[in-house]
Chain A
Amino acid sequence: MEFMTEISSIQNIIYIISSILFITGIKMLGKEDTAVKGNFLSALAMFIAVSVTLIDVINPMVLLSGIAVGAVIGSAIALRVKMTSIPEMVALFNGFGGAATFLIAWSEFNSIPDSLFQHILIMITIYIGGVTFTGSLIAYGKLSEKISIAKTSIITKVFTTLFYASLVFLIFAIIQPVTPSVEFNFFTILLALTLLGGIGFVLPIGGGDMPVVISLLNSFSGIAAAFAGLLLLNNVLIVAGSLVGASGLILTIIMAKAMNRSINNILFVGYASSSSSTSSEEQGEVSPISVSDAYLILESASSVLIIPGYGMAVAQAQHVVRELGELLEENGTEVKYGIHPVAGRMPGHMNVLLAEANVPYDVLAEPDDVNPTMDVVDVAVVIGANDVVNPSATEEPGSPIYGMPIIEVHNAKTVFVLKRSMSSGFAGVQNPLFFKQNTRMLFGDAKESIGGLVSEFKE
């Protein structure tokens, strides 16, 4: 017995070392120069913590085979995934983390909690873990466009109701005194309702709001792990879980601010569908432009700002965009990229795509950096972005997106908008930018249009 307590104190000391490595790792992950090393340190911390835990497990064969299966599946997904699919893949991995904490709490419940406090902890951990699990799976489905169920459909409404029911039931489960006779039934209901509730939590939320949802689910998976740590009296789970919870929370807040909406509005209200009456005819006509005319203007420009959006990801146009940027620079033009925090489907989505296409990160600028000097930009090229460049946000107090910080391309001398058609953006709001005097619409697939410009430059 004495030997066992010794092992557990050695484990606890190693857990502290691992926690320090996690903290240092996540700190280094926040700076460009040290990020790779930071990720490595955090992986090392994980390796140490897992190894020292494995020393005295009761059933090593079962657990090691679980690790092996997980390693094979996880690595296969991670090494094959395309950079455009990163958002859904992060959602998927996040869901697996949630599932693990859900199962941990379930197992602890089966081992019979010995105090009311443990009982409460188990219920909360089950709930957060379960909602993270199924919520992330739905986010995965929506991001990979495997699920497209309208917000107004009956299915969405049923699941939304189940989400609220699950919350009520969670409160019931928490105050329910531990009475073994009815336990099984009420607990099974809680497990089921939690999983269904997670579906209902994410199902009504639209694609453009996904950066917020993913950040929040990321935060949940960390909080769930921290609660599981409380339950198992394990300090490294608490520290690592809390760090993730905090980082997800910060990203959630940054994303919500970038949309100028409250988290409550994003999760439970959504955009008011009031776009019906602001008709497009009173806004005038759009002026289309051909690829060769666009080339002539770009060729004589001395400063160009490129604003990518989700449309660039869909068209897989990041590589030709980089090529165009390089040709412009060879031509003596100053090229910058204006990246809005919520462009794309997850925080930093555009940055990753452009990094994949070898665009150096120091030419990527945030709205606050590019807006003050917008009037000296000769051409702003908007590629598949819409709401993040909508001047209604600054000009029309009645607009649903009024107050959202945007990239003010309408102040540039000329604006090219690359777009497939005249459909409105995710928010369902008409974009007066398209009708401005200085705007030219370059209709068609972004990849083909940019490709056309590239070949004009090469000739």
Chain B
Amino acid sequence: METYVLLGFVLILSIYLGLELIAKVPSTLHTPLMSGANAISGIALVGALILSTDSNLQTAIAFLAVTFASINVFGGYLVTNRMLKMFKKK
């Protein structure tokens, strides 16, 4: 239980940090920020990699989870990069 309390503490601090960091983003960057954040949520990939593969069902679930998360990661970062490269100053 103590571990959960500690990790819960990390969770709350991180949310607070995120709110502080992103509060003043210019509206020009809203779409790339969303798409970049979307790529970061692909961190579920790390979670998917440590799932158990004891049974066929569990292996199938792990495989699907890894695949879905990878689509999110690769697609998200690539498209964000593509978008950001288009932003130019006068």
Give the interface of A toward B (CB within 8 A): 22-23, 25-27, 29-32, 35-36, 38-40, 42-43, 46, 49-50, 53-54, 57-59, 62-63, 65-67, 69-71, 73-75, 77-79, 81, 83, 86, 89-90, 93-94, 96-97, 99-101, 103-104, 106-108, 110-111, 115, 117, 214-215, 218, 221-222, 224-226, 228-230, 232-251, 254, 339, 341, 346-349, 351-352, 355-356, 358, 360-364, 366
Contact = CB atoms under 8 A, between A and B. Distances in A.
Contacts of A110: 52, 55, 57-58, 61
Contacts of A96: 68-69, 71-72, 75
Nearest to A235: B10
Given A101-B47, A237-B46, A360 B21 contact: no
A77 B75 CA distance: 7
B35 A63 contact: no
Given A70-B69, A251-B30, A242 B8 contact: no
A248 B86 contact: no
Given A241-B43, A348-B30, 11 more contacts: A63-B49, A74-B72, A83-B86, A93-B42, A93-B72, A107-B51, A115-B1, A226-B11, A243-B17, A244-B18, A349-B31
B47 A228 contact: yes
Contact of B10 (A57, A74, A239): A239
Interface of B: 1, 3-4, 7-8, 10-11, 14-19, 21-55, 57-59, 61-90
Contacts of B3: 233
B71 to A, nearest CB: 4
Give the one of A49, A103, A237, A339 with max B CB within 10 A: A103
Contact of A32 (B19, B26, B73): B26
B60 to A, nearest CB: 9
> Chain B interface secondary structure, helix, strand, loop or mixed?
helix
A53 B46 contact: yes
Contact of B70 (A30, A66, A355): A66
Give the one of A30, A228, A245, A347 with max B CB within 10 A: A30
A241 B39 CA distance: 11
B28 to A, nearest CB: 5
Give the one of B26, B27, B29, B41 with max A CB within 10 A: B41
B41 A221 contact: yes
A66 B47 contact: no
A67 B37 contact: no
B68 A38 contact: no
A68 to B, nearest CB: 8
B79 A222 contact: no
Nearest to B10: A238
Give the one of B3, B55, B86 with max A CB within 10 A: B86
B19 to A, nearest CB: 5
Contact of A39 (B27, B32, B89): B32
Given A23-B17, A99-B68, A226-B11, A70 B73 contact: yes
A251 to B, nearest CB: 6
A355 B83 contact: yes
A235 B9 CA distance: 11
Given A53-B50, A361-B88, A247 B33 contact: yes
B71 A70 contact: yes
Contacts, number: 370
A86 B31 contact: yes
Contacts of A86: 31, 35, 79, 83
Give the one of B4, B61, B75, B87 with max A CB within 10 A: B75
Nearest to B33: A29
Contacts of B14: 226, 238-239, 241-243, 246
Contacts of B84: 35-36, 39
A363 B68 contact: no
Contacts of B40: 22, 25-26, 42, 46, 222, 240, 243-244
A57 B71 CA distance: 20
B21 A30 contact: yes
17 contacts: A25-B40, A70-B67, A74-B75, A74-B78, A86-B79, A93-B38, A100-B42, A107-B61, A107-B65, A222-B40, A235-B10, A254-B30, A347-B31, A349-B31, A355-B87, A361-B88, A361-B89
A71 B70 contact: yes
Q: Nearest 6 pairs between A and B by C-beta?
A: A70-B70, A246-B18, A348-B30, A66-B66, A74-B75, A242-B14
A26 B36 contact: yes
A360 B34 contact: no
Contacts of B76: 74, 78, 93
A194 to B, nearest CB: 15
Given A46-B42, A74-B78, A248 B34 contact: yes
A32 B67 CA distance: 32
Given A22-B40, A228-B44, A236-B43, A100 B68 contact: yes
A439 to B, nearest CB: 26
A246 B25 CA distance: 13
B41 A240 contact: yes
